Amino acid sequence: MRKRTWKLVCMECRAEYSGTSPRYRCECGGMLDVIHDIHAHRGHLDVKKWNDRRYSHNETDRSGVWRFREIVLPVHYEMVVTRCEGNTNLYGSPRIARFTGMDNILLKHEGENPTGSFKDRGMSAGLTAAKMLGMTQVACASTGNSAAAMASYAATAGMQAIVFVPEGTVAMGKLHQSLAYGARTIQIPCDFDRLLRLVEDACLAGGVYLLNSMNPFRFEGEKTIGYELLQDLGWQVPDWVVVPGGNLGHSAALAKGFRELYDLRLIGRMPRIAVIQAAGANPFYTAFRSRNPVAPLAKVSTFAAAIAVGNPYSWKKSLRGLKDTDGLVEEVSDREILDAKLAVDAAGIGAESASCATVAGIRKLVDSGTIKKGELVCGILTGHLLKDLDTVINYHQGRLGELSAGHVNPLLRAAADTDSILEIIRNVD
Ligand code: F0G
């Protein structure tokens, strides 16, 4: 049998666990990391193997998660639950360069994953872990995207999915996905922060496998965004990688992944990570600036509902990652997020509102001189434009209140005759 090259380690007290039975936390309460035996891999892993897999006929090889499987979760290939996630595009756009004031900006569009968000990578790893552990039921609390991803990957694995969402704030498109993929979908009348803690308690008591941020395997999938990004760049390390921050798993995962590549000597330096929060849901920004622990917010307010999180679960892991990468946290207003969204959409790329906090943040950090114009910046767009239909329609119909001021592209109507259509064509500006 092959030697096992990973274990679970507590980020607080360094206690170790084999990971062969379901476990989300250490006995001391600390969060767990999947720690790979870098020494066992050093010298045996090379980027050529990972590059070659990209062009394989085998779906698992081609997956943007499993092509890096040696340092994701080395399991028998029959255990892998994949929809060939990843393989997302990296866009350069003169329009976005102008908008942000940068020479070199690239946007990796994780909304191009199978269910339309970066969550597919983490859920591919999470469902694989569930299968490895012999689980049959999985659950998560979600602002919508994790739920859609979990529902799809559970269906792929033949497992039952139970999804919990805060009532009334989840975009209809995301709810549709959970229902369509066959998940039991339950709305609870409270905000996401309370929901997450309630679901954790209930699932632990009920023996359902939890796939929220307390699950260490999800980070292993999400970190591959960074691996694939480097691969897209021919293993050139960008100066900055910029991501939106909600529950803060994504930023933590990216930093962990870069650290591993650095320790494997596959990259010679680490990119700096910038986490961008909505100003109305900014506990991590406040904590980072004041060098204090996160103080949960009782109320959050942002139209970017995917990142409306007041008590981020993974802030300690994210902070560790920022320290390790000389990173930082910035906040942006809803107006700034919306302006960035209009620019990303009008560039022909399009993305979910929360994703566009990335671009708004880059613009702000360039303005303040933190990011230098000539540096290479990669922003992660986390969700697809179609996740957020109401925002787009309401904005362009002038129904977003103060936020609708500015350029709108209203839906037009003409009578069903040639003259009316010609009239419209002549007046298009
Ligand atoms: N962008 C999108 C589109 C998201 O859906 C999320 C999180 C984030 C950014 C923030 O990522 O939480 O790792 O900092 N959505 C979660 C969900 C909360 O349930 O789908 P994070």
For the segment 33-57, the average pLDDT, to the nearest whole number, is: 92
pLDDT recorded at residue 408: 78
Distance 370 CA to ligand 1 centre (A): 25
Distance 344 CA to ligand 1 centre (A): 18
Query: For a pLDDT cut of 90, what percent of the chain falls above it?
Result: 86
Determine which residue's CA is closest to atom 4 belonging to ligand 1. 306
Residue 234 — pLDDT band, cuts 50, 70, 90?
A: very high
Residue 421 — pLDDT band, cuts 50, 70, 90?
A: very high
Residue 410 — pLDDT band, cuts 50, 70, 90?
A: confident
223 lines ligand 1 (CB under 6 A): no
116 lines ligand 1 (CB under 6 A): no
140-193 pLDDT, tens digit per residue, is 999 999 999 999 999 999 999 999 999 998 888 899 999 999 999 999 999 999
Cβ-proximal residues to 268 (8 Å cutoff; 6+ apart), any chain: 237, 262
Cβ atoms within 10 A of the Cβ of 169, count? 14
The yes-or-no verdict on residue 3 having pLDDT over 80 is no
Residue of 143, 241, 314 to test ligand 1 pocket, by largest number of atoms within 8 Å of CB: 143
In angstroms, how far is the first alpha carbon of the chain from the final one?
A: 68
Residues in the chain, how many? Answer: 429
For the segment 7-34, the average pLDDT, to the nearest whole number, is: 96
Q: Which atom of ligand 1 is nearest to the CA of 148?
A: 20
The CATH code for residues 90-114+219-404 is: 3.40.50.1100
pLDDT recorded at residue 342: 94
CA angle, 253 then 29 then 13, to 5°: 75
For the segment 319-329, the average pLDDT, to the nearest whole number, is: 98
* Mean pLDDT rounded to a whole number for the chain: 95
The strand pair at 104-109 and 90-92 is best described as antiparallel
Give the domain ranges of the chain: 90-114+219-404
Determine which residue's CA is closest to atom 6 belonging to ligand 1. 306
Residue 2 — pLDDT band, cuts 50, 70, 90?
A: low
